[in-house]
Structure 1
Amino acid sequence: MRDAGARRVGMLVQAIGVAGLLVACGGDAEGASHPDGSPADGSGARISGEVTVLAAASLTEPFETLGERLADRYPDLEVTFSFGPSSGLAEQAAAGAPADVLATANTVTMDTAVQAGVVDGTPRVFARNTLALAVPAGNPGNVTGPADLARDELRVAVCEPRVPCGAAAEALLDRAGVEAAPDTLTTDVKEAVSLVSLGEVDAALVYLTDAAAAGDAVETVDVPRAGAVVNDYPVAVMADAPNPDGAHAVVDAVTGELGRDVLAEAGFLEP
């Protein structure tokens, strides 16, 4: 009987040791997981359902790429992006639009949602962006710098002041002492870039990342001290997110290594 009892005690000690090892490794045999919440086997089964992300228009290309990579990480998660001007998205969020995540192109627009109490926790800055002077391929207007935006014969586009790219453009022109004469005020940066790529305007102040995304249809002209005006991009989970687990997984991806890699590829600066 003493031998059997000793064996039982030995087995119990071994079991406790194994359990302790599992805890030290960050989980148990059934619930072991990665920091992102997916199971250790990489199946991503814990995160599922639909997630709606309201995102600034300038995030279109990198977020679409991010969505593809998230699909590999979380096969059961469906991420839908709604891109548009940050000011409008923040107003939608404040008005109770059903969404899980909000990502804007500056902190001012995010503050609209924060002050309305529709954001869960503190928004996290995940990227930064600067402006560039974009011209059509071949630079038909012979634009050499921001001062040319005051030339009456040029067709110029600038984002509306209420949207982040417009506010940044105003700040940059003020620093340069230039009184621009825009012919077109666009609702977001993508509209401004489109006008340049189609040759409908001779120049526009846009984000450097959007000018790069336009490819060969757009060239950029050096803007002295462009680095003095930088937009911080914050992201947050919505307080009434229909899928909070999925929303947090998306935000963690945006602010983590995956997001940093994708955003860097698109030309964004790290926060």
Structure 2
Amino acid sequence: MFLYSLLFFALLPIIFYLFARHQDNKNFVFLFSIIIFGSISLLYFSPHAIIGTFSESKLMSRIDSNIKKNNELSFEDLNSISSLQNEELGFIYLSQLITNSLKTSSFDSADSIIQFISSKYVGDEYQIEKFELLTQIRDAKYPDYLNAEIRVRNFLPVDCQENGKIQLITQLFLKNGPSIPISYQELNDYNLVSNFFIDKATAPVNGFDLPSMILNKETGVLNLTLNCDEQNFLLSKEVSLNLNIESFPLVMNILQSEWSKKEQ
């Protein structure tokens, strides 16, 4: 707006000159004015503005170069590039920059972009997408954790017969954490109930999973609900994951004596 006002006031002397009487070279002044202000319009204000397009291209090239070098991207550059489009398209473009960063293992670049996204896009409509992006970065940075698993050898109560009706519900929670389970399963086969495993795939929420617990060296609580021929048994057991990744797969035993029978 300021630039438009400046151009308007710059035009005033020329307009007065053109309308003044007894002035020579009006045609030359008029033609010269058209050339000058037409050039300014082409360079700055038209949909195909040369200066604007050049500046945007230079900015994008600088961002791409920083990603290739695994440099952190400045918030100023990220704000400029995201502001070239509406909010939703800006978010999509920044998400693509993270994908490009991960393809070249430019983790410092990816971290700086997700930090900017977290500070700029604070609406509820972006929360799931941001969590997905964080998970993508984590999985790319720590691929060894993706296949980590806990193998549970479950010694069932003596009342549970192999040929009987059986159901086991397994839930792993963060100790003192939210009520959303890290892992959830419903098992109805005797062999699966006796030997089940917990891994990334058993997480109800992508990213809020076993690899996350291991990376953060969390302590979990494993809750088991067992139904054998209409008899119910309960078990709750702490699981410490303050371990190195080399400790996995982790074998965990559930003893018969640990089960508590739930009275009807």
Answer with 1 or 2: which has the greater Rg: 2
If the length of structure 2 is used for normalisation, what is the TM-score?
A: 0.27
More helix by share: 2
Bigger RCO (CA 8 Å, 6+ sep): 1
